[in-house]
């Protein structure tokens, strides 16, 4: 939105609390907060619930950039060490050039030019490999990245600029090191590496192995985390489950007929419904609840799900105490709740069964406790407070 002329961002934000107090019910005021944010910050810096699409994280950009810089630094150190290790082979060439009248500045430019040319060739090879391997990467990651869609003029110039910068950094030490050889010593066969040069090369090797060790350890940690994600018990079974969104469609009003039609399919074992999904990034709608023993005006802003009667069985969620929803109990449709273990623990209920529990419109009792399950992807703090009730 655009603010009218004369109204600043600070002035507009100062009006938002009054807007919340005036137009929102008491039960929502504790979990509603309005603020302004630049549109360009949404993708990497916004992590609010129910975004238009899953956002990324600016930390990923910094981490991948640091990894790229480390790899380039290792490559630069490799080039420096290889170039200086070959210094004995090029010493006679440098001595002859100096005798022929070459100045040190010309030799420095020659060696820098060589390193930049190698760096540009490496860039061309890298672009070719990326174009060759990108389809396989897209298939593996589920992305649709295209090199040509990002190869505008500015991007190509930035690639070239990085290649030239890497060439300068990698070739700077060999250029200044090789160009200082004295022709008289070289041509007489009296050339030998200086103590300072040997010490610097050893320091570069130590730095190179240090960076390599950091990258290897980081790779191992990330691999362990990925294995943990793949093998972690989420508290529900997501395998062989297909999700069909119904929000915003007429299927919500025709759910029973749609369910019966799906069950006729030979490959459909069971059908159930929920008001939201587990394990997604972006957030489940948080709702206000009241619980027995809490002050009348104190609300529990917890995520809640309205589900079909058979939802827990279909998702293989385990009942820890009490019972599941059942059509045999007519009051379950309007007066029954099931909490997860973390919710009961937060309420300090040793025996939550039969306790009074209600939402904004529905008063009821706790009929069961389900074992903890992950509500949000990679967000253990959201395990607490899961509430389910029949749709």
Would you say residue 11 lies in a domain?
no
What's the half-sphere exposure (Cβ side, CA atoms, 13 Å) at 137?
10
% of the chain exceeding 70 in pLDDT: 83
Same domain, 255 and 223: no
Q: How far is CA 106 from the centre of its chain?
A: 48
Same domain, 221 and 260: no
Which pLDDT belongs to residue 100? 75
Would you say residue 128 lies in a domain?
yes
Would you say residue 46 lies in a domain?
no
Would you say residue 22 lies in a domain?
no
Q: At what angle do helices 58-85 and 153-178 cross, to 10 degrees?
A: 30
274 is in which domain, residue-wise?
250-390
Would you say residue 20 lies in a domain?
no
Same domain, 203 and 295: no
Would you say residue 35 lies in a domain?
no
Q: Which two tokens stand for residue 297?
A: 């005006």
Q: How far apart are CA 110 and CA 100, in angstroms?
A: 15
Which pLDDT belongs to residue 78? 86
Same domain, 203 and 299: no
Same domain, 227 and 285: no
Would you say residue 45 lies in a domain?
no
Cβ atoms of 322 and 388 within 8 Å: the answer is no
- Model pTM score: 0.61
Q: Phi and psi (nearest 5°) for 29?
A: -60, -30
Q: Measure the N-to-C terminal CA separation of the chain; round to a whole number of Å.
A: 36
Q: How far apart are CA 90 and CA 186, in angstroms?
A: 10
On the 0-12 / 13-18 / 19+ scale of CB atoms within 10 A, 22 is exposed
Same domain, 226 and 358: no
Q: How far is CA 380 from the centre of its chain?
A: 15
Same domain, 281 and 361: yes
- Given a cut of 70, the residues of the chain with pLDDT beneath it are 1, 27-31, 48-54, 86-92, 150, 181-198, 279-285, 376-391
Provide the number of structural domains found in the chain. Answer: 2
Helix or strand (DSSP H, E) at 387: strand 387-390
Same domain, 194 and 272: no
Would you say residue 93 lies in a domain?
yes
Choosing from 204, 231, 258, the residue where a domain stops is 231
Same domain, 134 and 281: no
Which pLDDT belongs to residue 346? 87
Which pLDDT belongs to residue 382? 36
Choosing from 203, 231, 259, the residue where a domain stops is 231
Same domain, 351 and 315: yes
Same domain, 131 and 217: yes
Same domain, 256 and 385: yes
């Amino acid at each position: 939105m655009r603010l009218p002329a004369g109204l600043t961002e600070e002035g507009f934000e100062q009006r938002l609390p009054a807007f919340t107090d005036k137009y929102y019910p008491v039960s929502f005021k504790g979990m509603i907060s309005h603020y302004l944010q630049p549109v360009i910050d949404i993708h990497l810096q916004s992590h609010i619930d129910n975004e238009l699409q899953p956002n990324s994280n600016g930390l990923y950009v910094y981490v991948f950039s640091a990894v790229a810089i480390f790899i380039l630094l290792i490559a630069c150190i490799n080039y420096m060490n290889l170039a200086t290790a070959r210094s004995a082979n090029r010493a006679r060439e440098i001595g002859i050039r100096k005798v022929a009248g070459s100045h040190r500045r010309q030799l420095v430019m020659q060696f820098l030019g060589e390193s930049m040319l190698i760096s540009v060739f490496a860039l061309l090879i890298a672009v070719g490999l990326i174009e060759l391997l990108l389809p396989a990467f897209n298939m593996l990651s589920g992305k649709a990245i295209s090199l040509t869609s990002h190869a505008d003029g500015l991007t190509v110039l930035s690639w070239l600029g990085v290649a030239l910068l890497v060439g300068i950094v990698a070739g700077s030490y060999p250029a200044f090191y090789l160009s200082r050889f004295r022709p008289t010593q070289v041509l007489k066969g009296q050339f030998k590496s200086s103590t300072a040069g040997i010490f610097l090369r050893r320091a570069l090797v130590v730095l190179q192995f240090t960076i390599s060790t950091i990258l290897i350890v980081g790779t191992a940690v990330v691999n362990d985390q990925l294995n943990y994600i793949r093998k972690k018990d989420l508290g529900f079974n997501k395998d062989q489950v297909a999700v069909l969104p119904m929000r915003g469609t007429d299927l919500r009003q025709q759910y029973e007929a749609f369910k019966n039609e799906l069950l006729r399919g030979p490959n459909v074992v069971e059908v159930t419904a929920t008001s939201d999904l587990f394990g997604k990034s972006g957030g489940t709608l948080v709702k206000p609840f009241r619980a027995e023993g809490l002050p009348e005006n104190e609300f529990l802003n917890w995520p809640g799900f309205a589900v079909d009667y058979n939802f827990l069985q279909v998702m293989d969620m385990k009942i820890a105490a009490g019972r599941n929803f059942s059509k045999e109990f007519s009051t379950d449709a309007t007066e029954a709740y099931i909490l997860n273990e973390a919710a009961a623990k937060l309420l300090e209920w040793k025996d939550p069964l039969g306790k009074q529990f209600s939402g904004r419109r529905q008063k009821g009792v706790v009929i069961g406790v389900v074992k903890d399950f992950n509500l949000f992807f990679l967000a253990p703090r959201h395990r607490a407070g899961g509430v389910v009730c029949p749709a």
